[in-house]
Chain A
Amino acid sequence: MEEKKKLWKHIKAWVDGEEVILDADKYIITRSKKVKKDWRRQFSVETIKGNTKLYGFLSVAISALFIGIMLSVVNDLPEFGNPSNPVDNEVMERYLESGIEETGAVNFVAGMILDYRAFDTFAEANVLFLAVMSVVLLLKKDKQNYSEKEERENREDDFFDENEKRPILKIGGKILAPLIILYGIYVVLNGHLSPGGGFSGGTIIGAGLILYASAYGQKKMQTFFTFRTFTLICVGGLLTYCACKSYSFFTGANHVGFEIPKGIPGNILSAGFILPLNICVGLIVACTMYGFYALFTKGDI
């Protein structure tokens, strides 16, 4: 029982980032000084500074080597637009000929990335989500990593946000932010009809949110966008995407059985699942973009 308790304590300390040695007294008696094997050559500052010519030569040589490798590879690529290129195969023909029929999307790119290759896009959205989650792990403030000084600075920031007059930024933000967000929503909703889609529209919405937040401060932003809404939208979007696509995955990846109505190509309500998937991706991307900004500035959303 004792042993178990000790081990548990040890694991807990290890998780907290401390180093605890089991049986410390015994260890101190028996330990011997570590003999450091000095296998590196010791560089002094003078020798490094004296070698600038060598370093310059090495940097140019390595860059030239890499440039040479890349140029030789580019040289070996097939000629642009040649009909016998390996790109012009049956996959491309299938996409171009029966793309509209099978996906219902006028924009071929949207049909490709959200229907034929929807799982790639799912993984991309997951990568963004993981990135913002690691930023949350590193930069979100809590009681453990938050000092008095930072809290004072934050309060000063809030005071300036409320009282400072920044007419150009504030009026510009007031006029531009809704327009930018509206344009982003348009790009997301028309992803299957015109160029654009989830990722582009999401970043535009995120940029609009960032503009508004930088003009009016985080306090005002938190009236409608808190950490809770952030997690809800991100996780909800990912889960909706997962549910939509696992339907066609579990039914043999070919929409066997219940066929999703495709609608008339060109209508806004068409193309099966592409519109909801676009909306999901757009929401996730917008949230992550704004999340990056908020976590980098204040450490909180």
Chain B
Amino acid sequence: MSEVIQIILLVFLVACALAVSLTKNLFVAVIVFMGYSSIMAVIWLFLESPDLAITEAAVGAGVDSILFFLTLKKVHYLKGTREG
């Protein structure tokens, strides 16, 4: 059972990585990258390194994407904000 889940997760990981590089919309790219980090956190758990999983979830899915969003706001990319 766990092998099936791992294979599904790995397929999702590759799909996310390809989608990040192929999408034209930067906002969507950041959100897909968040998904990539969350999947990676679960894979770290399967690989028996829970400390890395915690760090990946907090840094990759949380702080990293917030910094990306702030950068997009600074370069006037997000529509609907004052800078956009």
Answer whether residue A121 sits at the interface, using C-beta atoms and an 8 A cutoff.
no
Minimum Cβ distance to chain B for residue A212 (Å) = 13
Assuming the A-B contacts A195-B51, A296-B71, are A200 and B66 also in contact, with contact meaning beta carbons closer than 8 angstroms in the complex? no
Answer whether residue B58 sits at the interface, using C-beta atoms and an 8 A cutoff.
yes
Binds B, one of A6-14, A202-210, A229-237: A202-210
Assuming the A-B contacts A153-B82, A196-B51, A296-B71, are A210 and B58 also in contact, with contact meaning beta carbons closer than 8 angstroms in the complex? no
Q: Per-residue 0/1 for A151-195: is the Cβ within 8 Å of any B Cβ (1 yes, 0 no)?
A: 001000000000000000000000000000000000100000001
Answer whether residue A118 sits at the interface, using C-beta atoms and an 8 A cutoff.
no
Interface centre among B50, B66, B71, B82 (most CB of A within 10 A): B66
Contact A196–B54 (Cβ < 8 Å): yes
Q: Which residues in window 44-58 of B have CB below 8 A to A?
A: 49-51, 54-55, 58
Answer whether residue B14 sits at the interface, using C-beta atoms and an 8 A cutoff.
no
Q: Which residues in window 111-158 of A have CB below 8 A to B?
A: 153
Answer whether residue A289 sits at the interface, using C-beta atoms and an 8 A cutoff.
yes
Determine the chain A residues whose CB is within 8 A of the CB of B50 once the complex forms: 195-196
Cα–Cα distance between A195 and B54 once the two chains are bound (Å): 9
Assuming the A-B contacts A292-B63, A293-B67, are A200 and B51 also in contact, with contact meaning beta carbons closer than 8 angstroms in the complex? yes
Listed from nearest, the 9 A-B pairs whose CB atoms lie closest are A203-B58, A195-B50, A195-B51, A296-B70, A200-B54, A200-B55, A207-B62, A204-B58, A203-B59
Contacts A204-B58, A296-B67 aside, 12 further interface pairs with beta carbons under 8 A come to A109-B51, A196-B51, A199-B55, A200-B55, A203-B58, A203-B59, A203-B62, A206-B58, A210-B62, A292-B67, A293-B67, A296-B71
A contact set with B: CB distance below 8 Å? 109, 153, 187, 195-197, 199-200, 203-204, 206-207, 210, 289, 292-293, 296-297
B contact set with A: CB distance below 8 Å? 49-51, 54-55, 58-59, 62-63, 66-67, 70-71, 74, 82
Q: Would you list 16 pairs from A and B whose C-beta atoms are within 8 A, ordered by A residue? A: A153-B82, A195-B54, A196-B51, A200-B51, A203-B58, A203-B59, A203-B62, A204-B54, A206-B63, A207-B63, A292-B63, A293-B63, A293-B67, A293-B70, A296-B71, A297-B70
